[in-house]
Chains A and B, each alone.
Chain A
């Protein structure tokens, strides 16, 4: 049973370019979460999605960032017109059920390290 998969593992972009980060949840999981980890910091929640729905995007920057989880295919975190401050590790996590209980854990992917030159 493959774990959460993220690609690419490393991504380099120049300022002003677009970055697309992909996340394939674990088999049977239909809930995806994106987190950002800035250097020397813990993970910060960005967005929670179910298939074709954004459930909670309270942690997403208001501009340049968007996320989707289509009916078919991986979840995509898209960053337009990247700036140096976007350099970070972006983690995706998945869970099999709606988060109805505090006992539900999330399973993390290996992360994508974005470097903006």
Chain B
């Protein structure tokens, strides 16, 4: 079974609008962390936001927020007030407990339309 599933290969959003990128995960470990990374066309991986499995509140970082629904095992990224520079690939990732590796989804390509 896939550890991380991103079902939206591509998304479009109008500039200044909000957009939600979906991510579901699969784990039986009670302790885990969820991460979102942005990969622009230049290729680097940029860390955006983190949510811990025991965190009571949804994480927020500037225009990024994480809609964490633990019972549904989803960790959707919400980008508010989209900007042209937000056009990129977005990857959801998970680390389980004290494990060493990240599990990545296949990514969502976001295009912001002027």
A91 touches B45 (CB 8 A): yes
> How far is B102's CA from A45's CA once the two chains are assembled, in angstroms?
7
Output the nearest chain B residue to A108 by Cβ-Cβ distance. B45
Q: Enumerate chain B residues within 8 angstroms of A107, measured Cβ to Cβ.
A: 47
CB closest residue in chain B, given A91: B45
- Bound-state CA distance A58–B101 (Å) is 10
Q: Is the CB of A43 within 8 A of B32?
A: no
Stretch at the interface among A14-22, A68-76, A97-105: A97-105
Contact between chains at A45 and B101 (CB < 8 Å): yes
Does A59 lie at the interface of the complex (its beta carbon under 8 Å from any beta carbon of B)? Answer: yes
Interface residues on A, range: 20 to 34
Enumerate chain B residues within 8 angstroms of A99, measured Cβ to Cβ: 95, 98-100
| Complex interface: stretch among B14-22, B67-75, B104-112 | B104-112
A52 interface residue, CB < 8 Å from B? Answer: no
Within 8 A of A (CB), among B26-79: 31-33, 35, 37, 42-47, 50, 52-53
Tell me the bound Cα distance from A1 to B100 in angstroms.
24
Instruction: From the candidates A44, A102, A111, A113, name the one contacting B31 in the complex (CB within 8 A).
Output: A102
Query: Complex Cα distance A100/B91, Å?
Result: 23
Q: Are A89 and B43 within 8 A (Cβ)?
A: yes
User: In the complex, what residues of B have CB within 8 A of residue A40's CB?
Assistant: 106
Q: Which residue of A lies closest to B32 (CB)?
A: A102
Chain A residues 8-66 with CB under 8 Å of chain B are: 33, 35, 40-45, 48, 55-56, 58-59
A42 / chain B contacts, CB cutoff of 8 Å: 4, 6, 91, 93, 104-107
CB B24 to nearest CB in A, in angstroms, measures: 14
| A residues in contact with B31, CB < 8 Å | 102
Tell me if B100 and A103 are in contact (CB < 8 A).
Answer: no
B98 touches A110 (CB 8 A): no
- A108 contacts across to B, CB distance below 8 A: 37, 44-47
Listed by A's residue number, 24 A-B pairs whose Cβ atoms lie within 8 Å are A35-B104, A41-B107, A42-B6, A42-B91, A42-B106, A43-B91, A45-B101, A48-B101, A56-B101, A99-B98, A99-B100, A100-B98, A102-B32, A102-B33, A102-B99, A103-B50, A103-B52, A105-B35, A108-B37, A108-B46, A109-B44, A110-B42, A111-B44, A111-B45
